[in-house]
Structure 1
Amino acid sequence: MTTLTMMSDVQVTERAERVVRIARKWQAAEDVLALELVDPAGGPLPEWEPGAHIDLVMPDGAARQYSLCGDPDDRHTWRVGVLLEKEGRGGSRWVHEGLAEGDLVPTRGPRNHFALEPARRYLFIGGGIGITPILPMVRAALGMGADLTVVYGGRTRESMGFVDELIELHAGVEVVPQSEAGLIDLERLLADPQPDTLIYCCGPGPLLDAVEQRVARWPAGALRIERFSARTDTELTSDADQAFEVELSRSGTVLQVPADQTLLSVLEDAGADVISSCAEGTCGSCETMVLAGDIDHRDSVLSESERAAGDRLMICVSRCRGPKLVLDL
């Protein structure tokens, strides 16, 4: 749901802005900064679970999403790791060059579309900055007494943040710097489906695509992934986009969504109470409940089972396959 009316406390927390102070900023690896965030008044921060991320809101109002990678039991500190993306949209450069210890920063969240589910065994695969959501998952899995295999790959050893912390958590972690050992051996890791095992993977798109291809023989639902950028197989050209209607159920308002406009932009133009962040279907902030209609899912957030349920969509990228959608707005 995307309005404050009838929202749960969790949904209000996800949506509301909260100002935090940068208590500490340090170099975690080459091109990777770590930030520790605290409440300016010294109070507790909202609870979170492994896999959650927060939005850092930039001065121009744009937001960037970063996975929480500290200890969920520490209610007074959030920690994020930020990779400098030199060809990115400017958010990481703002963090690296524009923020200093003591600065106040608006945030939103935490929000979690990558939650750790109970299992007897886990296989965790982190690539580059994708290790950040994996870190608290490893801590939680160990606390549950589960069996786990942890593999962490990166470009070079110097570019891989939090290695020492990960090894301290789990001495059996397999560290795979590409400059020394090549790519992660996915054939070995995923060749034989393992019962009662969940795979959690986060990292660059090519790694996630390769993992998805190799788990085809595994039981349905064994894989959980989180993407930092939109998946290419959901990017459709404007020629495939069709116009449709959207009805806002709470007011009865019916709006036209042209083929060359996103559902989000139409709702924003109409003054609907919606929120968005990434605008590419990766963060989940614009998730909206659907009451009727055939959804054309184009996000990189929802699982196959969530898509099949047909009760929610990401309004920044997804559309309608038929003539009309009815939204809980």
Structure 2
Amino acid sequence: MSINKNAIVRYHKLDECFSNPGKNYGIPELLEACNEALAELKGGSSGISRRQLYDDIAFMESSQGWSIELEKTRDGRRVYYRYADPHFSIRNQMVNPMEAEQLRSAFLVLSRFKGMPQFEWIEEMQIRLEDALGLKGSSKSIVGFETNPYLKGLNYFGRLFNAIINKQSLNIAYQGFRQERPSTFLFFPWYLKQYNSRWFLFGRNKEYDSIVNLALDRIQEIEESSHAFIENTSIDFDEYFEDIIGVTLFENQELTKIRLKVDISLAPYIKTKPLHGSQKIVDQTSNYAIFSIEVLPNKELDSLLLSFGDKIEVLSPDGYREEIYVQLRNSLEHYN
């Protein structure tokens, strides 16, 4: 049985009823109490059935739950439920086995941040929780995340993370690949995103109205600023990245439908690992498949398509096909 928010509300309400010495709770009273609690949570909830209530009680009594012991008192045809130990409560328990498994899963996700500067506490907290909650063995790695712990600029990750949460303005010294020396500017950090093992900071440069992204490995220095913070009031970053591959988004760009001819040897890979969420298969023969994607073209898309070599050909639109052709031609000239 999975434990979701509704289930937790029900278990806590049942716990409250079982530990209440001043009132008798039979199945009708327990059902009413649970449904009232759910109605407060969701508003207008239709509630749960008797069958669900019996399943909840059985789970709480099981070893996967809290191994509760209930005293069942019969009065005529009615049966009333309360804890055998009047001082017992599931709120006094640390975690049940199912919650322990969920914590182990959470540790695996948190481990992605282990080793990052200012996130050393994650490893320390994991060890302490394992010891306190009896989760020995949960630190053994069984999932590998794509990361580069030696990437330059990772030492700023923790400060930038906290600056976003705390809405802290920053003075950032930044040196782009084409700059001979760093430039310093006032920056309002809004979002951190990883792409291709690199981290990027999105936000507002005070000198520009449009959003800016900075590669962490090009940041030279960060200082806190007393300047009033400009908040993000217009950008939903989930939507912001919906039509692009990578992190580069150009202003006033139109969504482009790109048709790709894919060698039949690569087609199964492209089917199971789409280039983009908009990907559709248009046609397929014994030698190739035709796919389409609708995106805002950028250099990350170029790099992705070129990485497949002669297995992918851009069919349309003509302008983008020409751009890829020029890049391939320039690359070939290096070998002549």
Normalised to the residue count of structure 2, the TM-score between the two structures is 0.26
Q: Which has the higher contact order (CA 8 A, sep 6+)?
A: 1
Normalised to the residue count of structure 1, the TM-score between the two structures is 0.27
Please state which structure has a larger fraction of its residues in strand. 1
